[in-house]
Chains A and B, each alone.
Chain A
């Protein structure tokens, strides 16, 4: 009976209506979902209840990793102590922990790096162990020493391992001694071109010739054969002499199109060590990882085993205990070379957990207590595929990501989707401040195959609601759907190679553009129809708007498109350019999510804003599009409206991001040349030099060193 009714109402065949209804059911609970924190993590392994570890652990970190550690502690029945800075006093990790201690003011040097305050917190709370997370004090041997002196367990490797691996030269020597592949090169100084050729032949092409005193790319040449080596030697030595006054040269193997692949190792204090497979972390911007996956598409079992065994050799060589990561560069011929070892839990550890089923934090805690490893190498599986996207509060349109700050006015993690894990330390209402890393969360999806995991990632990114800060979901979604990424043909140069002119957002093809315009038009009509539905009895009767056909004009950028919409039941048919787009969906104007079925395909759009003047901002395929929908009449009349002249931006310098002014190099009256540095803004560990776009005289300076500025704040005016 009910089914018949729907079928009738929607004037559509029962099966198709059912399908749509099911779609609505699938998405309906999305909006009512609750905070991420309570959700059971999907990597949990059953801990052995009889194994007593610690009563109380202090987590010397903040944000998502602190929350991550607390989750495992809760599972293991361990009391937790959070430390926090004053601005973090209502942060999620503080709320999650059993106890919390404020260790200082907002700057990290005064709080999360403040060893004295953290040692005090340990004494006051009686914590028996400390988990340092990553960053901050996680690889600080001084901190580890101070803990040892007080008899508090450090959940991580021993001091000497931290020290040995912390030094780049020493770690390379140790690695070499442990028979780990290091980048082949000639350690001595090369005297003549012929000697250079000889050495290059020994190393194997391609090689890199670089100045011993070099840096910044100067005096550096890549040679692929003997001839280029001779030439390179000549140029490099000249350049080195003129640049550094030192013409000594080194030769090293050049790794072309390198991939960054790392091996997770886990070792105990009894000399046992395991490798937990690899993580592919090649997608990077400015040497920071953006998308990681496990396993790598590139490794075969033989290479994997070889890398794993070498990683374990290195771990054993430094008597490593706890979880650690050995990073390798892998060239196109699957030669791999040791880069460095990270003696801590990595940001991207969840993907290893997903494919191995191990809880790394739990293992770290066990090992720190002195237990032996529970597993043998044969127990370590690769189950399926896991992908991690680092969701950052940053603007991907500015050099693949400049930090952005703000308050998360709306925030919904896509946790209702199956096999999605979100590691985050924030919630709706949280502030992303300039003091800390701008990471919002780590979004992890997994599946039996890579394609499945990637498909889920697409869904998860589309369902992720983040408002109040600019975020990098547009870039993430482009990366994971890019044919080169999907085919696994990636390297650390992926981003600059794929987007040589910088990231520009999703480029719409004709079909997709039609879908977007149709969706915007339908949303506009839904809002119009709703505006005509006044409830209750009215003294002056309303004239019902009985319309089922509309003519609209939709603008996207410079482009204008006439569309005709007709509505039958709950299905909208949008006609434009002779093509028809059928849109069906639960058009809830209050929801940020807009689940639509467009021409039979389910799409999750997001509506960011909708104003009276017809401007609708939609997130479609990850990217934000500003669409303007006007009635045909309004669109015609709109041609009479004058273009408002926007501010001349060449003579004003605005802060591209929030941060602190480090230096101002000009004063009013100075003449600056094009490209001359005007001031330096530091934001989130990065110094950004802002330069003049034209030659001009400085009219006024609106900032001074030490000042905090917001995005778009006026810094300097030129004449």
Chain B
């Protein structure tokens, strides 16, 4: 494995570096204990036997060493790559002075290949773990340290991660992993593999209990990729992070494909082609700052309701409050929505325009903005409360549902459902994408995922049909029939089995006056009434009032209680 060879080569480098550091240390301590023979064994014997002052000194020394990670030279090398160190990342991610570190003294236990030597031991090993706060809210963090053995995963490294994951589970707080690791610690062999599996198991157990976020900030290859894959969200840093099962060398030898790291598993690949990563950011700093922002949308665990933030900073000051504008209030009207849907039903518009206009502060954190763009998913706030938003995007492929968009939507809906985040769905869908590529690819079972996700979700579900809701896709998109709590239609809505042209060709096959029949069909079905008279939509609303209505409904639905029948777990068509 290519990644592992990275680890090994960096090991050599580190060893060399360690030697030089040691000699410096020796001189320094030589002054303190000149009589002590210059072997580490003896030295530790002496420390063991003498007063507790020297234990304190040793503690300090270890702590200092832990803070240095792999040493200054490796830190500089890390910086030269445009990457921050594990500790810098933690510092930036968490509130100032909120980080509480655990296992700073843990060292690896490998005794082979000279690893047992003191110079190959680093306090804390190749990961920094602990807990801290993001905007005052509790979070558990691990940050892999590339400067120590290339961030490779040893048994001790895995154990540290598992420890904070266990703690996070008992307390009920999210885990954020900052990945920057060359892979398994080869010297440890199977212990390292066991470590991965331990983490995987915990990822799975924590799934749906606490939010888990992975931020890939360096290499992440081989078995290691499965931990991010099991977490709820995977973010990447452009140009410096890679995710792949096997690196370009192995790919070349097995399939004879020539591919670069970036092409194979870079941020662009995973956010546009594979859909493995949910978003990519320009550099470490932007990634970490965005992660802080993203964290604000999440509840700490599945026991907590959706987070609600104060709308403005001055809200605590009642006198000023009344002076401040109305533009954030829940009953704000949005007149620009009244003419956003074009009159010709074939013309596209941008669903993001609707979303931005409706949510608080036009603040929408889009998930997978560059993958399966025919569906838009992401987090926003309504009246301060986090909501998940799903919308068909008429601008891309007419907003139809296909394999990728179904899977993207389904995963997002399930996350929201697991963490009590209400789902608001904007529907403008002409149907599922036809074609052999889709059918051969299994659109039936993939489309079923989205249907399954919406149907099983018990969080508040509000649906707004802005224009087309055709065929099976209408059913899928959080329809009334799938326990939608509130389903609205805009006056431009058309709920039908299919578009007028196709319908007329079937109903009036062979009939001469197709155009007239089409007009009749449009008159009859290309409007919200057929659905409204049957109660499939609760109301036909003026677009400008949409925000107001959603906010009112969310207020009421906050106490919604709905329980699915007992089961070990459902069997979603994977």
Residues of A at under 8 Å CB distance from B?
A: 2, 5-6, 9, 21, 24-25, 28, 30-32, 35, 89-90, 407-411, 427-430, 526-536, 538-540, 542-545, 570, 586-591, 593, 612-614, 630-631, 633-634, 637-638, 640-642, 644
Indicate if the CB atoms of B323 and A586 lie closer than 8 Å. Answer: yes
Indicate if the CB atoms of A535 and B303 lie closer than 8 Å. Answer: no
Q: Is B357 an interface residue (CB 8 A)?
A: yes
Indicate if the CB atoms of B327 and A612 lie closer than 8 Å. Answer: no
Binary A-proximity of B39-54 (CB < 8 A = 1, otherwise 0)? 0000000000000000
Indicate if the CB atoms of A589 and B313 lie closer than 8 Å. Answer: yes
Known: A527-B313, A588-B314, A637-B284. 18 other contacts (CB 8 A): A428-B335, A530-B311, A534-B136, A534-B309, A535-B310, A535-B384, A536-B308, A539-B301, A540-B137, A542-B136, A543-B133, A588-B325, A590-B327, A590-B360, A612-B292, A613-B285, A637-B285, A641-B82
Residue in chain B with minimal CB distance to A630: B285
Q: Is B337 an interface residue (CB 8 A)?
A: yes
Which residues of A have CB within 8 Å of B286?
Answer: 612-613
Candidates A6, A409, A535, A589; contact of B336 at CB < 8 Å: A409
- In angstroms, how far is the closest chain B Cβ from the Cβ of A37? 11
Which residues of A have CB within 8 Å of B98?
Answer: 543
Q: Is B263 an interface residue (CB 8 A)?
A: no
- Determine the interface band of chain B, counting residues with CB < 8 A from chain A: 35 or more
A5, A6, A534 interface centre (most CB from chain B within 10 Å): A534
Give the docked Cα–Cα distance between A529 and B315 (Å): 11
Indicate if the CB atoms of B314 and A570 lie closer than 8 Å. Answer: yes
Q: Given the known inter-chain contacts A539-B304, A642-B283, please indicate yes or no for A587 contacting B137, CB distance below 8 A.
A: no
Which residues of A have CB within 8 Å of B171?
Answer: 540
Indicate if the CB atoms of A526 and B319 lie closer than 8 Å. Answer: no
Of B88-96, B179-187, B442-450, B455-463, the segment with at least 4 beta carbons within 8 Å of chain A is B88-96
Give the docked Cα–Cα distance between A410 and B332 (Å): 14
Which residues of A have CB within 8 Å of B353?
Answer: 407, 409
Give the docked Cα–Cα distance between A641 and B313 (Å): 32
Q: Is B117 an interface residue (CB 8 A)?
A: no
- In angstroms, how far is the closest chain B Cβ from the Cβ of A641? 4
Q: Is B356 an interface residue (CB 8 A)?
A: yes
Which residues of B have CB within 8 Å of A429?
Answer: 335-340
Q: Given the known inter-chain contacts A588-B328, A591-B327, A637-B285, please indicate yes or no for A534 contacting B308, CB distance below 8 A.
A: yes
Q: Is B545 an interface residue (CB 8 A)?
A: no
Q: Given the known inter-chain contacts A613-B289, A641-B283, please indicate yes or no for A590 contacting B303, CB distance below 8 A.
A: no
Q: Is B79 an interface residue (CB 8 A)?
A: yes
Indicate if the CB atoms of B300 and A633 lie closer than 8 Å. Answer: no
Q: Is B172 an interface residue (CB 8 A)?
A: yes
Indicate if the CB atoms of A526 and B311 lie closer than 8 Å. Answer: no
List 6 A–B pairs whose Cβ atoms lie within 8 Å, in order of A's numbering: A89-B343, A534-B309, A570-B314, A613-B290, A631-B96, A637-B84
Which residues of A have CB within 8 Å of B285?
Answer: 613, 630, 634, 637-638, 641
Q: Given the known inter-chain contacts A24-B323, A429-B335, A538-B304, please indicate yes or no for A590 contacting B290, CB distance below 8 A.
A: no
Indicate if the CB atoms of A532 and B136 lie closer than 8 Å. Answer: yes
Residues of B at under 8 Å CB distance from A?
A: 79, 82-84, 88, 91-92, 95-96, 98, 133, 135-138, 171-173, 239, 281-286, 289-290, 292-294, 296, 300-301, 303-305, 307-317, 319-320, 323-328, 335-340, 343, 353, 356-357, 360-361, 384
Residue in chain B with minimal CB distance to A643: B82
Which residues of A have CB within 8 Å of B343?
Answer: 89-90
- In angstroms, how far is the closest chain B Cβ from the Cβ of A638? 5
Give the docked Cα–Cα distance between A634 and B95 (Å): 12
Indicate if the CB atoms of A526 and B309 lie closer than 8 Å. Answer: no
Give the docked Cα–Cα distance between A238 and B173 (Å): 88
Indicate if the CB atoms of B327 and A540 lie closer than 8 Å. Answer: no
- In angstroms, how far is the closest chain B Cβ from the Cβ of A529? 5
Residue in chain A with minimal CB distance to B286: A613
Residue in chain A with minimal CB distance to B287: A613
- In angstroms, how far is the closest chain A Cβ from the Cβ of B376? 16
Which residues of B have CB within 8 Å of A430?
Answer: 339
Give the docked Cα–Cα distance between A633 and B93 (Å): 11
Indicate if the CB atoms of B325 and A540 lie closer than 8 Å. Answer: no
Which residues of A have CB within 8 Å of B96?
Answer: 631, 633
Give the docked Cα–Cα distance between A195 and B334 (Å): 72
Which residues of B have CB within 8 Å of A408?
Answer: 336
Which residues of A have CB within 8 Å of B173?
Answer: 540
Give the docked Cα–Cα distance between A17 and B343 (Å): 51
Q: Given the known inter-chain contacts A429-B338, A590-B328, A641-B283, please indicate yes or no for A534 contacting B137, CB distance below 8 A.
A: yes
- In angstroms, how far is the closest chain B Cβ from the Cβ of A630? 8
Candidates B92, B301, B313, B361; contact of A526 at CB < 8 Å: B313
- In angstroms, how far is the closest chain B Cβ from the Cβ of A525? 8
Indicate if the CB atoms of B92 and A31 lie closer than 8 Å. Answer: no
Indicate if the CB atoms of B317 and A428 lie closer than 8 Å. Answer: no
Q: Given the known inter-chain contacts A6-B319, A25-B323, A587-B313, please indicate yes or no for A634 contacting B92, CB distance below 8 A.
A: yes
Which residues of A have CB within 8 Å of B239?
Answer: 642, 644
Residue in chain A with minimal CB distance to B543: A429
- In angstroms, how far is the closest chain A Cβ from the Cβ of B491? 12
- In angstroms, how far is the closest chain B Cβ from the Cβ of A564? 15
Q: Given the known inter-chain contacts A531-B309, A590-B327, please indicate yes or no for A428 contacting B137, CB distance below 8 A.
A: no
Indicate if the CB atoms of A28 and B324 lie closer than 8 Å. Answer: yes
Give the docked Cα–Cα distance between A545 and B283 (Å): 27
Indicate if the CB atoms of A35 and B335 lie closer than 8 Å. Answer: yes
Which residues of A have CB within 8 Å of B319?
Answer: 2, 5-6, 9
Residue in chain A with minimal CB distance to B132: A543
Which residues of B have CB within 8 Å of A428?
Answer: 335-336
Which residues of A have CB within 8 Å of B336?
Answer: 408-411, 427-429
Residue in chain A with minimal CB distance to B325: A31
Give the docked Cα–Cα distance between A529 and B312 (Å): 9
Indicate if the CB atoms of B314 and A28 lie closer than 8 Å. Answer: no
Indicate if the CB atoms of B92 and A637 lie closer than 8 Å. Answer: yes
- In angstroms, how far is the closest chain B Cβ from the Cβ of A535? 5
Give the docked Cα–Cα distance between A145 and B239 (Å): 69
Give the docked Cα–Cα distance between A683 and B153 (Å): 59
Which residues of B have CB within 8 Å of A631?
Answer: 96
- In angstroms, how far is the closest chain A Cβ from the Cβ of B168? 11
Which residues of B have CB within 8 Å of A591?
Answer: 325, 327-328
- In angstroms, how far is the closest chain A Cβ from the Cβ of B4? 26
Indicate if the CB atoms of A612 and B293 lie closer than 8 Å. Answer: yes
Residue in chain B with minimal CB distance to A642: B82
Which A-B residue pairs are the 8 nearest by beta carbons? A429-B336, A590-B328, A31-B325, A612-B293, A533-B310, A642-B82, A542-B136, A428-B336
Give the docked Cα–Cα distance between A591 and B362 (Å): 10
Which residues of A have CB within 8 Å of B310?
Answer: 530, 533-535
Which residues of B have CB within 8 Å of A539?
Answer: 172, 300-301, 303-304
- In angstroms, how far is the closest chain B Cβ from the Cβ of A35? 7
Which residues of A have CB within 8 Å of B82?
Answer: 640-642
Give the docked Cα–Cα distance between A641 and B81 (Å): 9
Which residues of A have CB within 8 Å of B282?
Answer: 613, 644
Indicate if the CB atoms of B135 and A540 lie closer than 8 Å. Answer: no
Give the docked Cα–Cα distance between A538 and B299 (Å): 10
Candidates B284, B326, B337, B338; contact of A641 at CB < 8 Å: B284
Give the docked Cα–Cα distance between A638 and B361 (Å): 28
- In angstroms, how far is the closest chain A Cβ from the Cβ of B510? 33
Candidates B300, B303, B305, B361; contact of A589 at CB < 8 Å: B361
Candidates B95, B138, B284, B337; contact of A545 at CB < 8 Å: B95
Give the docked Cα–Cα distance between A538 and B304 (Å): 8
Give the docked Cα–Cα distance between A633 and B85 (Å): 13
Which residues of B have CB within 8 Å of A528?
Answer: 135
- In angstroms, how far is the closest chain A Cβ from the Cβ of B73? 15
Indicate if the CB atoms of B335 and A587 lie closer than 8 Å. Answer: no
Q: Given the known inter-chain contacts A31-B326, A538-B304, A641-B284, please indicate yes or no for A543 contacting B339, CB distance below 8 A.
A: no
Give the docked Cα–Cα distance between A612 and B311 (Å): 17
Give the docked Cα–Cα distance between A411 and B336 (Å): 9
Indicate if the CB atoms of A532 and B135 lie closer than 8 Å. Answer: yes
Which residues of A have CB within 8 Å of B316?
Answer: 533
Which residues of B have CB within 8 Å of A534?
Answer: 136-137, 307-310
Which residues of B have CB within 8 Å of A590?
Answer: 311-312, 325, 327-328, 360-361
